[in-house]
Amino acid sequence: LRKVGPAPCGMGGGGEAVLAVVEPRAGASIDPAKLLADVREVLGPVKTPKAIEVMASLPRSNAGKVQRSELRKARWDAAGRTI
Protein backbone atom coordinates (compact mmCIF):
# COMPACT_ATOMS: atom_id res chain seq x y z
CA LEU A 1 0.00 0.00 0.00
CA ARG A 2 1.06 3.53 -0.62
CA LYS A 3 -1.62 5.49 1.24
CA VAL A 4 -4.86 4.71 3.02
CA GLY A 5 -7.71 7.12 3.59
CA PRO A 6 -11.04 6.66 5.39
CA ALA A 7 -14.31 7.65 3.74
CA PRO A 8 -17.98 7.15 4.58
CA CYS A 9 -19.93 4.64 2.60
CA GLY A 10 -23.71 4.42 2.58
CA MET A 11 -25.33 1.25 3.83
CA GLY A 12 -28.85 0.04 3.12
CA GLY A 13 -31.43 1.67 5.33
CA GLY A 14 -29.76 5.09 5.27
CA GLY A 15 -26.97 4.32 7.74
CA GLU A 16 -23.25 4.72 7.32
CA ALA A 17 -20.25 2.44 7.62
CA VAL A 18 -16.49 2.86 7.33
CA LEU A 19 -15.00 2.36 3.88
CA ALA A 20 -11.22 2.16 3.53
CA VAL A 21 -9.90 3.74 0.34
CA VAL A 22 -6.42 2.56 -0.55
CA GLU A 23 -3.82 3.48 -3.15
CA PRO A 24 -1.39 0.73 -4.22
CA ARG A 25 2.30 1.37 -4.74
CA ALA A 26 3.35 1.94 -8.32
CA GLY A 27 3.17 -1.32 -10.27
CA ALA A 28 1.49 -3.23 -7.43
CA SER A 29 -2.02 -4.61 -7.25
CA ILE A 30 -4.29 -5.10 -4.25
CA ASP A 31 -6.86 -7.80 -3.70
CA PRO A 32 -9.53 -6.01 -1.60
CA ALA A 33 -10.93 -9.28 -0.21
CA LYS A 34 -7.51 -10.49 0.97
CA LEU A 35 -6.63 -7.08 2.41
CA LEU A 36 -9.95 -7.00 4.27
CA ALA A 37 -9.25 -10.48 5.72
CA ASP A 38 -5.73 -9.40 6.78
CA VAL A 39 -7.06 -6.24 8.43
CA ARG A 40 -9.77 -8.24 10.21
CA GLU A 41 -7.06 -10.52 11.67
CA VAL A 42 -5.19 -7.54 13.12
CA LEU A 43 -8.07 -5.25 14.15
CA GLY A 44 -10.86 -7.73 14.81
CA PRO A 45 -14.33 -7.68 13.27
CA VAL A 46 -15.63 -4.60 15.11
CA LYS A 47 -12.85 -2.22 13.98
CA THR A 48 -12.52 -3.59 10.45
CA PRO A 49 -13.90 -1.40 7.63
CA LYS A 50 -17.02 -2.78 5.96
CA ALA A 51 -15.41 -2.49 2.53
CA ILE A 52 -12.15 -1.59 0.82
CA GLU A 53 -11.99 0.41 -2.39
CA VAL A 54 -8.82 0.62 -4.47
CA MET A 55 -8.09 3.93 -6.24
CA ALA A 56 -5.18 4.48 -8.63
CA SER A 57 -4.54 7.84 -6.97
CA LEU A 58 -5.99 9.42 -3.84
CA PRO A 59 -6.86 13.15 -3.99
CA ARG A 60 -4.09 15.20 -2.37
CA SER A 61 -3.55 18.81 -1.34
CA ASN A 62 -0.53 20.82 -2.51
CA ALA A 63 1.19 19.72 0.71
CA GLY A 64 0.69 16.06 -0.27
CA LYS A 65 -1.91 15.23 2.38
CA VAL A 66 -4.87 13.03 1.46
CA GLN A 67 -7.98 15.20 1.06
CA ARG A 68 -10.54 13.13 2.94
CA SER A 69 -13.20 15.75 2.23
CA GLU A 70 -12.84 14.99 -1.49
CA LEU A 71 -13.25 11.27 -0.82
CA ARG A 72 -16.44 12.00 1.12
CA LYS A 73 -17.75 14.50 -1.42
CA ALA A 74 -17.56 12.01 -4.30
CA ARG A 75 -19.62 9.49 -2.34
CA TRP A 76 -22.18 12.00 -1.08
CA ASP A 77 -22.63 13.45 -4.59
CA ALA A 78 -23.28 9.94 -5.92
CA ALA A 79 -25.81 9.32 -3.13
CA GLY A 80 -27.57 12.64 -3.76
CA ARG A 81 -27.38 13.61 -0.10
CA THR A 82 -24.86 14.66 2.54
CA ILE A 83 -25.81 12.69 5.64
b (16+ CB within 10 A) / e for 66-81: beeeebbeebeeeeee
* Predicted pLDDT at 10: 45
* Predicted pLDDT at 12: 43
* Predicted pLDDT at 17: 76
* Predicted pLDDT at 21: 86
* Predicted pLDDT at 76: 77
pLDDT tens across the length of the chain (83 residues): 444 545 444 444 455 778 888 888 888 888 999 999 998 998 898 888 888 888 888 888 999 888 888 888 877 777 777 66
